[in-house]
Copies of this chain bind each other. A is one copy, B any other.
Amino acid sequence: MARTQGSRADITGPLIRDEALRLFARQGYAAVSMRQIASAVGVQAGALYAYTPDKQALLLDLLESHMQELLAAWKDIPGDPLARLERFVRFHIDTSLDHPDAVFLSYMELRNLTPENFARIADLRNRYEARLSAILRDGVAAGMMQIDDVKLTTLALIAMLTGVTNWYREGGRLDRRRIGEIYWGLVRGAVRAV
């Protein structure tokens, strides 16, 4: 028995997520219509509702799976806090540049989440920040870093690293490896591990 007209359930779902992420990041959640997403996917607007109950659930899904992926991807290693910090810096930059749209969404569209959904994302974000805080604390304890305030330094460093997505362009003046080196130099100095 042949499929019904134009059914492509296997690829439509991921496509909706991809296009929604791209459009939300470029124009903002509120500025993007369901018709616009549907058009980018190549279906009619009504078809989207076979995959998501509503627009808000689509946003939550994008943010939540990004944060889950981020948490799952980072594997700390035992040993020298300085080596762990360098790995974190390069990991965070690489991941941010691999998923610039998701990173942008994560910082910009939290306010468009319902309070309950916001709490879920904030919790995931806190767990990620705690990974960096742990490294900094260990570095201080080992006498290898000098840090006035671990919590503030965590937030400051993450803001600095995430900022690469604001200006990085593929094929630009600096490649990723070089960017990682420069930022690692800044971070190493900031924690007085020169």
From B152, B158, B163, B186, A179 is in contact (CB under 8 Å) with: B152
Chain A binding surface, main DSSP class: helix
CB distance from A57 to the nearest CB of B (A): 17
Within 8 A of B (CB), among A177-194: 179, 181-183, 185-187, 189-192, 194
Q: How many copies does the complex hold?
A: 2
Q: Find chain B residues with CB under 8 A from A163 CB.
A: 155-156, 158-160
Q: 8 tightest A-B contacts by CB?
A: A159-B163, A30-B31, A160-B160, A30-B30, A189-B189, A186-B190, A190-B190, A189-B190
Q: Say which residue of B148, B160, B182 sits within 8 Å of A185 (CB atoms).
A: B148
Q: Give A107 to B3 CA distance when docked, in angstroms.
A: 47
Closest to A184 in B: B148
What chain B residues lie within 8 Å of A112 (beta carbons)?
27-28, 31
